[in-house]
Structure 1
Amino acid sequence: MFLIPSPNQLDLKEGTLQLRRDTEIILDYQCDFDDLNAAILLQDEIQLQLGFKLVINKTFENHSDKITIRFNRKAGENESYKLTIGGNCIAIDAATSVGIFYGVQTLRQIIRQNGALLPNLKIEDKPYFINRGFYHDVTRGKVPTLKTLMELVDRASFYKINQLQLYIEHTFAFKGMSEIWMDKDPLTAEEILLLDQYCQKRHVELIPSLSTFGHLYEILRSKSFNELCELEDSQGGEYSFSNRMVSHTLDTTNAGSIKLVEKMLMQYIPLFTSNKFNIGCDETFDLGKGKSKAKVDKVGAGITYVEFLNKVIDIVTRKGKKVMFWGDVILHHPELLNIIDKNAICLNWDYSENVKEDGTKAIASTGREQYVCPGVWGWNQLVNKVDKGFENIKRMVSYGVKYGATGLLNTDWGDFGHINFLSSSIPGMAFGASLSWNPEGDKNFENVFKALSIIEYGDESLQLISLLNQLSKEQIVGWYELVNWKENCSEISHLKQDYSKLDDKKILAGYKLACKIETKFTTLSKDVRINAFDLQEFIVSARAIQLVDSFFLNLMKSEYCRDDLDTLFTPMDLAENLEVWFCDFAKIWRSRNKESELYRIREIISYTCSYLRSISSVAC
């Protein structure tokens, strides 16, 4: 039997208990409406898996001789629970509704694997990290619908995640800033309020996150606010996926910069019940390279950064919020850590699969509270690189344990238009949840892949996530390379790449494997009975890998006269296949997301297809 997260203590016993149509879910008289919500979740799960709907009741004592599922309020720690299956009773004992809720999530996983015939067992469980978060990008191209965000809350809380942050730069409908968001389908104040309310029902804290220093590309290239950019001549120009990642920092010497930040914060802070606020302040690449150069030359980049950071912190703390900020910049100036508000939480991120402990150790040496922040490796990818994300998460959790971090915030970024689907981030999200609850849990990746296949998808073959991992490793070329190629052609990218050095044999092998995995995904369609829509996203992504592989083989043949290459498709056929694929991709996108910036993905595909048609009749 698989469980995610692995419980602290699991004692499997002899015998089984069978759920029946007349089984009752009985709430202890001390239970409240939160516990009723958990009971309804369990009721829905049993109906989905077994086909019958149990009655929910509330009593002082249980005198029934029927099989019962009992929620009991008993002394214990806040999020801890005890789950016992045996005799004629399933009992979930906890001191709080949060503990009851987590006991229900574990029971749901057991039912998904065992059906009505449940093993007798005893579980005693509690979390290692008090703060177990997931960070989801809703800015870099893709804005989910409110329904999708609620689904994300459901799926995160299923694995006992208790914090969610949404990354916002320009995709909130700030008043007085419609020039920035009018073509982005932004989240609204009402949507945030409703999402916060929903999060509370699932015992998830919705923590606001807003860029307030760097990563303000869309704002700082606008007519209204370009004068606040560190660099000159930032207004307008051709949009660039690659440039937006490095050109976006506020001019700290302009008094209007902090006024803009305060204007945004005053609209955003009131929407959240959380007592925390993530002010961002990462990757201020341009600092000192333009308008603030004279100041930076005089006092240093570190002091200039910290002075502005502290101004933002002051605005937020005056509204009663505890500040979080990304730690990458200050780690270049560790001697300045102690002049930042000591109550501010440092979000220590490093996404390398070979990440070292140095950053975690440096922050810990100052006594400052920190979260360790790994990533699920989806940025710039058609499919998240599952194994690289898992390795990064495993290492960062271990450093968090070693150096006394108070939480984990597992990040999901969408650089270059957020082409990767939410579904391929779920394995990394679940693995981060597992190790933040129990760092001693199963770290064998293949075991976790099997567990996720059955628990998340009902795939009794246990193959699905392993196949996804295999697919993710075969992206020899992908979306990152395609975007850079397009932007290099129009000379708007800061990145340059020599495509003549690509390994055509590896690309061809990747294509063939993607074809095989697409077929296997399609075969598994009849077995995936939970979250089945994810499988369609996997299939569309596998097809994308095949087509991008073929494009680069055509590119190498055309640009470098490689007549020996097997291009798989003629340029004309490939153009048509890409266009048909995009229409399918767009349908999938719109199923879970607003229209948002889908048009930017379309522009890349249209440019690529135009190029293919231009070379279809040209010989070297």
Structure 2
Amino acid sequence: MFLIPEPQRVKYLDEKGFIINRDTEIVLDCKCNFNHLGCAKQVKTEIKANFNLDIKINKGLAKDQEGIIYLNKKTGKEEGYSINIDKNIVEIIGNDDAGLFYGVQTFCQILRQSDVQLPNVKIDDAPYYKQRGFYHDVTRGKVPKLETLKRLADRLSFYKINQLQLYIEHSFAFKNMSEIWMNKDPLTAEEILELDEYCSKKNIELVPSLSTFGHLYEALRSEKFKNLCELNDPEKEQFSYFDRMAHHTLNVSNDKSIEFVRNMLKEFIPLFSSNKFNICCDETFDIGKGKSSKLAREYGADKLYVDFLKKIVNEVKVYDKQIMFWGDIILKTPELLKELPKDIICLNWDYSKDVTDHNVRVLSEANVTQFVCPGVGGWNRMMNYMDGAFNNIRKMISYGKKYGAVGVLNTDWGDFGHINLLANSMPGMIYGADLSWNPDDKREFDDIDRAISIIEFGENCKDIIGTIRELSNEEIAAWPYIIYFADCKMLNRKVTYEHLEGLNKIDSNRMLEGYHNALKLEEEITRKGRSAKSSRVMDIEEFINSARGVALMNAVCLAIKKYELGHDEIKLPIDNNKLAIELEYWFVEFSSLWRRRNKESELYRIRDVISFICSFLRKHIGTK
């Protein structure tokens, strides 16, 4: 029996357990309310899906009753629950509303792995981290449909995640800022309100997150706000993936910069019921390098950063919110941590598979409240790098426990167009949820893969996540190399090869091997995926498309090495015209998958890159 998160205490007994039949009833205790009725309905739905039995829901006292699934509440540790299954009764008892909800999620996992006779088991469980979050990028190319965000909330809550943040720069429809979000299909105020309500029913706090300092690419290259950019006013120029990530920080020496922030906050904050707000303030690379350079020479760029950060904090404090911010800049000068308000939360991110405890320890020693923020390893890739991500998640969460972090925020970014598909991030999300609840889970990755496979896709797909992990190790040459090459060529910039140096060093034979292995794994995923439960068919389709994408990107990067970096010795696995055709067919399928879960948003930007690469390949037809 696999359970995710692994409960704190589980005891399986040898005796026979409860048998579900047509006479079974779900009984809510008399003290239960409408929130608990939703829990009963979920159990009813799960039993129908697994055993094709349509059992009834009732309410009353369960004393001396047998043959029922009894839902009740008691007092105890917040969000905790207990499950007792014997031959006579199933008892799911929550310490509070959230605890009963989480007990039901665990019971549903038991149902998915049982026949009509359930195991005789006793579970006593409660979370280690009170705040267990997932951070999802909805800005860098892909804006999900409201229905997709609701289904994401369903999946998060099933694994006991209780906080969701959406990363927003320009992808919210701010009034009088249409110049910024036009052609981006932004989220609307009404969608946020509806999602907030939906999340609350799933015991998820929807925490607002908004770029308020750096990463303001679309705003600070607009006619209306370009005067607020730290670097000299840029002429309106073609879109650049690299410029989007690397520049466009607010000019702290301009009083209108904080006014710009104030106006966004005034419109955005009231949409959320959360008592928290993430102001971001990360990667302010340009501060002190342009219009504020004189001030930077006088006071130092680090001091300029902290002073403007405090201005933003004061603006948010008006709304009586607890403030979160990314810690990458302040950690470069930890002596300035003492200038921050005591109640601010530092979001401490590091995505390396070899991450150390240094930054977590520094913040702990400075008595700064922190979340540890690992990542699911999907950005800039067709398939998430699972080995790296799982190691990162495990280490960061263990450091958080060691140094007293108050929460976990597991991140899912979409750099360079958000080509990574949602299904590919779910294994990392689930593993983060597991350790956020129980950091002492020592299961090996193979066991976690099998657990995710069975719970998510069914017993007949028990090895599917292991196959996905294999695929992730065949993505030898990743999307950033293609983006840098296409970015420079499409913008008529000189290719300096600085960012292609990594591609130059990659073993070409290993890339070729990755191409062939990915195609074999595509066949394997297709075969295994045929037995997946109907609710996860779209995930299987995204895995299959990603597998073909891994193969094709390896082949494209081999072509770039051959024709652009002078590796004439490279033998391509497929001729240029056929590779271009394969790439175009792949993109048509990718686009269809994109549109099922997401708005059109900035899909056209990926299309333009793929079209450019296909043209590049065809220009070299006949070239040896």
Contact 2:464 2:529 in 1 (8 A): no
Q: How far is 1:88 from its partner? A: 1.8
SS at match of 1:531: helix
Deviations 1:172-224 (A, max 9, x none): 00001000001100000000000000001100000000000001011111111
Mapped partners of 1:574, 1:146: distance in 2? 36
- The question of 1:491 aligning with 2:475 is answered no
Contact 2:81 2:100 in 1 (8 A): yes
In terms of mean alpha carbon deviation, does 559-568 or 85-94 score higher?
A: 559-568
Aligned to 2:519: 515
In terms of mean alpha carbon deviation, does 104-113 or 36-45 score higher?
A: 36-45
Q: How far is 1:402 from its partner? A: 0.7
Mapped partners of 2:314, 2:348: distance in 1? 21
In terms of mean alpha carbon deviation, does 146-155 or 562-571 score higher?
A: 562-571
Aligned to 2:70: 70
Deviations 1:284-312 (A, max 9, x none): 00001101111011011121111110111
Mapped partners of 1:347, 1:598: distance in 2? 30
Q: How far is 1:565 from its partner? A: 3.5
In terms of mean alpha carbon deviation, does 442-451 or 348-357 score higher?
A: 442-451
Aligned to 2:97: 97
Aligned to 1:59: 60
Pairs within 5 Å for 1:462-541:
462-489=462-489, 490-491=492-493, 495-498=498-501, 499-529=503-533, 530-541=535-546
Q: With the length of structure 1 as denominator, give the TM-score of the two structures.
A: 0.97
In terms of mean alpha carbon deviation, does 107-116 or 400-409 score higher?
A: 107-116
In terms of mean alpha carbon deviation, does 122-131 or 85-94 score higher?
A: 85-94
Q: CA RMSD in A?
A: 1.5
Aligned to 1:45: 46
Deviations 1:296-337 (A, max 9, x none): 110111211111101111111111111001111111111111
Q: How far is 1:561 from its partner? A: 6.3
SS at match of 1:210: coil
Identity of aligned residues (%): 49
Aligned to 2:132: 132
C-alpha distance 502-387 of structure 1, shift in aligned 2 (>3 A)? closer
Mapped partners of 1:160, 1:98: distance in 2? 9
Contact 2:19 2:87 in 1 (8 A): no
Contact 2:213 2:281 in 1 (8 A): yes
Corresponding letter in the other structure for 1:215: H
Mapped partners of 2:264, 2:406: distance in 1? 29
Contact 1:373 1:409 in 2 (8 A): yes
Mapped partners of 1:149, 1:60: distance in 2? 38
Aligned to 1:31: 32
Mapped partners of 1:493, 1:408: distance in 2? 40
Q: How far is 1:399 from its partner? A: 0.8
Corresponding letter in the other structure for 1:568: P
Aligned to 1:197: 197
SS at match of 1:532: helix
- The question of 1:570 aligning with 2:584 is answered no
Aligned to 1:609: 614
Corresponding letter in the other structure for 2:597: R
Q: How far is 1:457 from its partner? A: 1.2
SS at match of 1:30: coil
Q: How far is 1:492 from its partner? A: 7.2
SS at match of 1:92: strand
1:596 to 578, 596, 601: 601
Corresponding letter in the other structure for 2:351: Y
Deviations 1:337-370 (A, max 9, x none): 1111111111111111111111111111121211
Aligned to 2:177: 177
Q: With the length of structure 2 as denominator, give the TM-score of the two structures.
A: 0.97
Contact 1:31 1:97 in 2 (8 A): no
Pairs within 5 Å for 1:343-382:
343-382=343-382
C-alpha distance 3-303 of structure 1, shift in aligned 2 (>3 A)? same
Pairs within 5 Å for 1:125-164:
125-164=125-164
Corresponding letter in the other structure for 2:499: K
Corresponding letter in the other structure for 2:508: D
Contact 2:461 2:529 in 1 (8 A): no
Q: Which runs of 5+ in 2 are unaligned?
A: none
Aligned to 2:424: 424
Q: How far is 1:557 from its partner? A: 3.7
Corresponding letter in the other structure for 2:608: E
Mapped partners of 2:493, 2:588: distance in 1? 28
Aligned to 2:122: 122
SS at match of 1:584: helix
Corresponding letter in the other structure for 1:57: N
Mapped partners of 1:439, 1:561: distance in 2? 49
Mapped partners of 1:519, 1:566: distance in 2? 24
Deviations 1:249-308 (A, max 9, x none): 000001111001010000000000000000000110000110111101101112111111
- The question of 1:555 aligning with 2:560 is answered yes
C-alpha distance 557-253 of structure 1, shift in aligned 2 (>3 A)? closer
Contact 2:94 2:101 in 1 (8 A): no
